[in-house]
Structure 1
Amino acid sequence: MGRPVTLFTGQWADIPLAELAPLAKKMGFDGLELACWGDHMEVDKAARSKKYCREKRELLKDHGLECYAISHHLAGQLVCDLNNDGRSDMFAPAELAGDPEGQRKWAVKTMKNTAKAAANMGVEVVNGFTGSSIWHMLYSFPPASEKMIEDGFKYFAKMWNPILDVFDKQGVRFALEVHPTEIAFDIITARRALEAIGHREAFGFNFDPSHLIWQGVDPVRFLKAFPDRIYHVHMKDAAVTLDGESGILGSHLNFGTPGRGWDFRSVGRGDVNFEDIIRTLNAQDYKGPLSIEWEDAAMDRVAGGTESCAFTKKVDFEKSDRVFDEAFDS
């Protein structure tokens, strides 16, 4: 058998977990990667109550599902972001609206609790975002000095090292989904982020090829650059759709809008070469789940999720235990 195929519930958080679990099983999934919003995983409760976590696992087990990771992208984003406009208010408690440092304090505490929640759930990986205090300097105009960029990586280390101390204590690893708006969004910045935190083992990556492919970054090259830091894998696709009018930056057009220079696609319908990814994961002996993060604004999500699950199970295969001609020696 290949690796377990799971569904990341972030884009399904509007559906109560008791309803989503049987639906996911019907779509063909082996497990769920629980998002820490909606009612799927209440972090503070999970951090203090093993009973709550046991009930979550029993709910999944009742439908033939497992859990290998939980994810808290929303709180993680606020740890390093500037939190200086209304977008951050969507991710934090309502009473902290308009309070950048209050939101940051809440986010740090919440991410520490997410490590404890993961330990109580019996999983070893938390996926998420880090945020970035320097993403807005990407274009380097107005000019951004090297010191300003270096200070951003130092700030990331200052904010995340205490969080990672809790992850170490709980025996859990944090997997950053390398992604625009994060401290690491390509291979070069991923290396720099690792250097900033002294390559500590608690910090690695949730590999998601969709966020690399549209930037022109080779997903397989990313895997080969960090063979010991791939803590989790998202199966997600994207397609570049440049038409000579829009640009690769998205043109302020929302996902799914005709004319965007790129967009997410259902797994197997975009530009990602998943065959090469599976072969590389096999060579690196990755044994974790393949978790589908489904986003395709042009498709029905149940149909797309079902199709993506079947595609992933078909494209995945086990690593060989021999070279072909060695069979002649037996």
Structure 2
Amino acid sequence: MDRSGGGYVKGPAIFLAQFAGDAAPFNSLGAMARWAGDLGYVGVQIPTWDSRLIDLAKAAESQDYCDEIAGVCAEAGVAITELSTHLQGQLVAVHPAYDALFDSFAPAEVHGRPADRTDWACQQLRHAAVASRRLGLDAHATFSGALLWHTMYPWPQRPAGLVEEGFAELARRWRPLLDAFDAEGIDLAYEIHPGEDLHDGISWERFLAAVDNHPRANILYDPSHFVLQQLDYLQFIDIYHERIRMFHVKDAEFVPSGRAGVYGGYADWGDRPGRFRSLGDGQVDFGGIFSRLTQHGYEGWAVLEWECFLKHPEQGAAEGAPFIAAHMIRRAEHAFDDFAGAAPDAARNRRILGLDAG
């Protein structure tokens, strides 16, 4: 059941980041769009750090360029669902302990210069806001970055006020960017993800309060990261559905042992208790997720983000579109038992309640 709009979850769509490469058909937007369309996808989410797929600065400057890349996708039978700045968003807030690891997310000219790297990342976000508007989109995917992640476990004991100051600083960095997205009419959806300061519901609430419940601060929902944290990913939808603007359809499993738990013992992905899996191979209850999202009126895209320690990516991509399509729900237009109902009658209702019983 392919849905591209009209009050339903939209999709199936696919995030191109994990598939892009130097070999055809993965080395250009046009070729990837045709590949995705041939697999049954009707939307593509584009990583903006990959110049093989998009020139973000040019997209911010030129409506003609945006019309051109949208046309390339449309010709292949797919829409652009959202742009992503996951890597650039990560660099908005980086603790110095991670500088060497995250320098690779930025151009060489800002390596070893954290302040310049942050400025570059913020400009990338501003470009993304304008480019999203030029492409006719209404939401954008990103990461929050992290100043506090190294204190995630409370040992040594966190000093009083540390967490509050960390979120206050994160808000100071993001508030101007949220305002920039607001000026373009675009929602900013943060993927709630370990390694980010926004990694669960409580940390999300701290950030939302620190940015004064900014209307453009929203959530990219990915249940796989909640499986690995042992968080109730269905209840998460019930609690935060009003802020969920994106959905990464991604599977995972968590099988603890007597040797390792949620922290994984520094093991590689294949040896960790918590592992990402191709759709249908893990433990995520996608029937429950699609039901909850539909119940709460989610009208965004269902976007495959494929990651798996075992299966080949092309097999995962081929299986993803029919898997998503099979889980999409056409919402009922009337109650299933309406056939047995009767016409409204106020007097009868009062009699049933015993209110006018002589």
After TM superposition, is the score higher than 0.5? Answer: yes
Match of 1:100 among 110, 114, 117: 114
Q: How many residues align?
A: 328
1:37 aligns with 2:49: yes
Task: Return the TM-score normalized by structure 1.
Answer: 0.96
1:312 aligns with 2:324: yes
Question: What is residue 306 of structure 2 aligned with on the other side?
Answer: 294
Query: What are the equivalent positions in structure 2 for 1:1-330 lying under 5 Å apart?
Result: 1=1, 2=3, 3-14=10-21, 15-16=26-27, 17-38=29-50, 39-83=52-96, 84-255=98-269, 257=270, 259-329=271-341
Measured in 2, the distance between the counterparts of 1:10 and 1:145 equals 39
Measured in 1, the distance between the counterparts of 2:32 and 2:314 equals 11
Deviation at 1:25, TM superposition (A): 1.3
Measured in 2, the distance between the counterparts of 1:188 and 1:82 equals 21
Task: Return the TM-score normalized by structure 2.
Answer: 0.89
The residue identity in structure 2 corresponding to 1:175 is A
Structure 2: runs of 5+ lacking an equivalent: 4-9, 343-358
**SS of the counterpart of 1:111?**
helix
**SS of the counterpart of 1:113?**
helix
Superimposed CA distance per residue, residues 73-119 of structure 1 (whole angstroms, 9 cap, x where no aligned partner): 00000101125432111111111111111111111111111111111
Superimposed CA distance per residue, residues 61-84 of structure 1 (whole angstroms, 9 cap, x where no aligned partner): 111011121111000001011254
**Farther off after superposition, 156-165 or 37-46:** 37-46
1:210–1:272 contact (8 Å) kept in structure 2? yes
- How many percent of aligned residue pairs carry the same amino acid? 31
Alignment CA distance shift 1:225-1:146 (3 Å) = farther
Measured in 2, the distance between the counterparts of 1:283 and 1:21 equals 31
Larger radius of gyration between Structure 1 and Structure 2: 2
Superimposed CA distance per residue, residues 235-272 of structure 1 (whole angstroms, 9 cap, x where no aligned partner): 001101323222321222232x3x21111001121111
**SS of the counterpart of 1:67?**
strand
Measured in 2, the distance between the counterparts of 1:49 and 1:254 equals 43
**SS of the counterpart of 1:239?**
strand
2:143–2:191 contact (8 Å) kept in structure 1? yes
1:6–1:32 contact (8 Å) kept in structure 2? yes
Measured in 2, the distance between the counterparts of 1:79 and 1:189 equals 17
> What's the C-alpha RMSD, in Å, of the aligned pairs?
1.4
